[in-house]
Amino acid sequence: MLGNFSFCNPTKLYFGDQALQNLGDELDRYGKNVVLIYGGGSIKINGIYDEVTAILREKGKAVAEISGVMPNPTVDKLYEGVAIARAHHADFLLAVGGGSVCDYAKAVSVSVHCDEDPWDKYYLRFEEPTCETLPVGCVLTMVGTGSEMNAGAVITNPHAHLKIGHVFADEKIMPKFAILNPNYTLTLPHRQMAAGIYDIFNHICEQYFSGEDDNTSDDLSEGLMRSVIDAGRAANRDPQNYEARSNLMWSATWALNTLLSRGKSTDWMVHMIGQSVGAYTNATHGMTLSAVSLPYYRYILPYGVKKFARFAVRVWDVDPADKSDEQIAGEGLARMESWMKELGLAMNLRELGATEDMIDGIADGTILLTGGYKTLSRDEVVLILKECL
């Protein structure tokens, strides 16, 4: 049964190989002082930086830059960006990059006019902004996080070994617009592409593996998972396949723009464990998720066997005839494992540089949520992490 909820997502999306043509008109809606935010500089190699800055010049914008936003943006980088945006009297933040760059721009947005320490306020106390926030726009160059159409922002504090995501409640934190050109994702290294594909898939799993009832969200989730599986296979076989990349880009947005979770409970423990792994290893987000997923799902399977059996039949085409729910569910996870290996995902934590002596610390940094089929204790997290090594 769908419970009480609200839904509002005003982000304007421009999709397709001509999407950047809309950037100029969107920029017209905002003030003169723009902060351009990007990552390690790949946009200077593939030409996107030149295209975007030409549009900014044409529109007469005064541009400051925050470059070098890292895959797991740190709290120190956040402080640096806030200082740049303040010095520039920023009216608008333009993120050009993947989910980390979008997340980072939103974190700067809520921090520029904030009198308190943003790490303490937003990531330790999970408060909402009480100050003015800056509008954010995104030009997406990597696919996976869904950050282009939601109000989430993950920040890492490497000193404290903490990687924490805050999904802000107010839709005004969502990007005002996002430019989604699948061509921008064609040059991504295979490992980044695969990690992004699994990030999308796991976002859907996190919202699906919870609750006993019959609801529209689960039916939508199954359709979206089938799309990610098929498009992921096609992109893996041929990384230049535009159709597959366009389906992945669109699926990623809808996998985490708040639609799938409306009215139902959710799990999110793979992300909680994976984020803690990320804080210790600085490994790619999607790979931390793939490395912990199967041990986690096999551990909780007995507590949600009906849903895992439904998943096997509806998503992985397992034939249920003459089998127990446990058998069906197990076959579903086996097919999921084959698909993950086909994509070349990390299947254990050692591949990511984690070692046995980190396990206690990773377990300490894992936030224990209650929405899934089994509420884990810290000891159970340790058990699962040992299975992941």
Which residues contact its own copies by CB under 8 A? 1-19, 22, 182, 213-217, 219-224, 226-227, 230-231, 234, 242-243, 246-247, 250-251, 254, 259, 262-263
CB of 75 to its own copies, least distance (A): 32
Question: Please, how many CA atoms are within 13 Å of residue 69, restricted to the half-sphere of its CB?
Answer: 29
Pick 109 or 246: Cβ nearer its own copies: 246
The secondary structure of residue 344, as a DSSP letter, is: T
110 close to 316: Cβ distance less than 8 angstroms: no
CB of 273 to its own copies, least distance (A): 28
Pick 234 or 305: Cβ nearer its own copies: 234
What is d(CA 129, CA 109) in angstroms, rounded to the nearest whole number?
A: 10
What is d(CA 56, CA 48) in angstroms, rounded to the nearest whole number?
A: 12
CB of 325 to its own copies, least distance (A): 18
CB of 224 to its own copies, least distance (A): 6
Pick 221 or 276: Cβ nearer its own copies: 221
Return the structure tokens found at 42. Answer: 């790949």
Pick 72 or 221: Cβ nearer its own copies: 221
Pick 10 or 361: Cβ nearer its own copies: 10
Q: What is the CB neighbour count within 10 angstroms for residue 171?
A: 15
Q: Which residues pair with 188 in a beta bridge?
A: none
CB of 127 to its own copies, least distance (A): 21
Instruction: Look at residues 237, 188, 204, 178 and name the one whose alpha carbon lies nearest to residue 311.
Output: 204
Pick 202 or 227: Cβ nearer its own copies: 227
Pick 14 or 373: Cβ nearer its own copies: 14
CB of 220 to its own copies, least distance (A): 5
CB of 137 to its own copies, least distance (A): 13
What is d(CA 131, CA 112) in angstroms, rounded to the nearest whole number?
A: 9
100 close to 56: Cβ distance less than 8 angstroms: no
Burial class (CB in 10 A: 0-12, 13-18, 19+), 240: exposed
What is d(CA 23, CA 175) in angstroms, rounded to the nearest whole number?
A: 13
Return the structure tokens found at 206. Answer: 């996190």
Can you say whether the dihedral through the CA atoms of 291, 205, 141, 133 is positive or negative?
negative
CB of 274 to its own copies, least distance (A): 25
What is d(CA 263, CA 215) in angstroms, rounded to the nearest whole number?
A: 9
Pick 2 or 87: Cβ nearer its own copies: 2
For residue 188, which amino acid is it?
L
CB of 45 to its own copies, least distance (A): 25
H/E element holding 136? strand 136-140
Burial class (CB in 10 A: 0-12, 13-18, 19+), 125: exposed
Pick 113 or 226: Cβ nearer its own copies: 226
